[in-house]
Copies of this chain bind each other. A is one copy, B any other.
Amino acid sequence: MSTPTSTESPFLAACRREPTARRPVWFMRQAGRSLPEYRAVREGVPMLTACRTPELITEITLQPVRRLGVDAAVLFSDIVVPLAAVGIDVDLQPGVGPVVAEPVRDAAAVAAIRPLAADDVEYVSTAVRMLCAELGDTPLIGFSGAPFTLASYLIEGGPSRSHARTKALMHGAPQLWHELCARLAAIAGEFLKVQVAAGASAVQLFDSWAGALSAADYDTFVAPHSAAVLRTVAQAAPQVPRIHFGVGTGHLLPAMAAAGATVVGVDWRTPLSAAAEVVGADRAVQGNLDPALLLAPWPVLADEVRRICAEGDQAAGHVFNLGHGVLPETDPDMLARVVDLVHQLPPA
């Protein structure tokens, strides 16, 4: 196991609910569209190409660390990278998102989904090793989409607001649903294991769309598969913090915590103090500035940051973050000011 367990990292300390002098902060999608240096290196490079080129992954992952002084790097990748790596024909179309050439809707299509081998994502292992060499004491967070969100893209054939076919299959053909999600959980688990083996210090399992489900459906159809992913990481590297996040999941936080997260990501709809109560004293929380507020005047934004830090102090550990990804129209200077302010507000 090559994972560094630097006790110097405020990010890892907060994830482990250990005392830390500095409140850690990073931003979901910090490596991306809001940075001019990102747009420069991506010029003319398709998204999936960028996600498969170690030098580009490394450069893009490092950009926000250099510019913003965040306490963690997050691997530049995309939720569909492991799907493409097992041979699924998926493309990332600008302005649309993932488009799957042949949507997965029957037993034959599910049976055709093969497991992920470390070799399939050699470009990721290489990038993680390059990153760890560059990052020094700054931890790298590994990243994967969760089974439900991956399944939704495969079944719908692309982004969906209603997830109607996904839910219809889940309820109408539960055995097929569970078979699909078991395969996706194995892929996501292996994808995270590869990143940890190469040096990632923490992982985030990102279930973008889980908030579209009722708690009952989440428990029956999703939680067992997300738990399998997190268990794979826990067995391979018990010391590695496991962050679990989805948008609009206020009603799912206890279940997402119980699925094996050690840190629960929270969006802006749920105050961190309320989240801390439902996820319990044995989990840290991460969040939860509304990314829209980065477009508001600084005094308003600063007040929000202070409120969130005060609410985060009610949790066993608090990693400051947004409640969703950085919006493309964000001024990076506002992100830098947020980092500075969070660093001036040590944990209580």
A290 within 8 A of B: yes
Among A124-132, A162-170, A335-343, the one that faces the other chain is A162-170
A297: B residues at CB distance < 8 A: 171-172
| Nearest CB in chain B to that of A298: its residue | B172
Segment touching B, from A48-56, A73-81, A138-146, A263-271: A263-271
Q: How far is the CA of A251 from the CA of B268 in the complex (A)?
A: 12
Q: How far is the CA of A203 from the CA of B192 in the complex (A)?
A: 51
Residues of B within 8 A of A291 (CB): 162, 164
Other-chain residue from B163, B211, B250, B290 in contact with A292 (beta carbon distance below 8 A):
B163
Known: A248-B248, A250-B250, A327-B162. A168 touches B295 (CB 8 A): yes
Contacts A168-B295, A214-B268 known; list 19 others, CB within 8 Å. A162-B291, A162-B292, A162-B327, A164-B292, A165-B295, A167-B292, A167-B295, A167-B296, A171-B297, A172-B295, A172-B296, A211-B248, A211-B269, A213-B269, A214-B269, A214-B271, A214-B290, A215-B269, A251-B270
Q: How many copies does the complex hold?
A: 2
CB-defined contacts of A213 to chain B, threshold 8 Å: 269
B290 and A167 contacting across the interface, CB-CB below 8 Å:
yes
CB pair A167–B293 under 8 Å, yes or no, is yes
Q: Interface residue tally of chain A, by bracket?
A: 20 to 34
Q: Kindly list the 7 A-B residue pairs having the minimum CB-CB distance in the complex, ordered from nearest.
A: A167-B292, A168-B295, A164-B292, A171-B296, A172-B296, A168-B296, A171-B300
A290 to B292, CA, bound (A): 28
Let me know if A102 is at the binding interface, CB within 8 A: no
Q: Roughly how many angstroms separate A166 CA and B300 CA in the complex, as a whole number? A: 14
Let me know if A329 is at the binding interface, CB within 8 A. Answer: yes
**Cβ of A219 to closest chain B Cβ, rounded Å:** 13
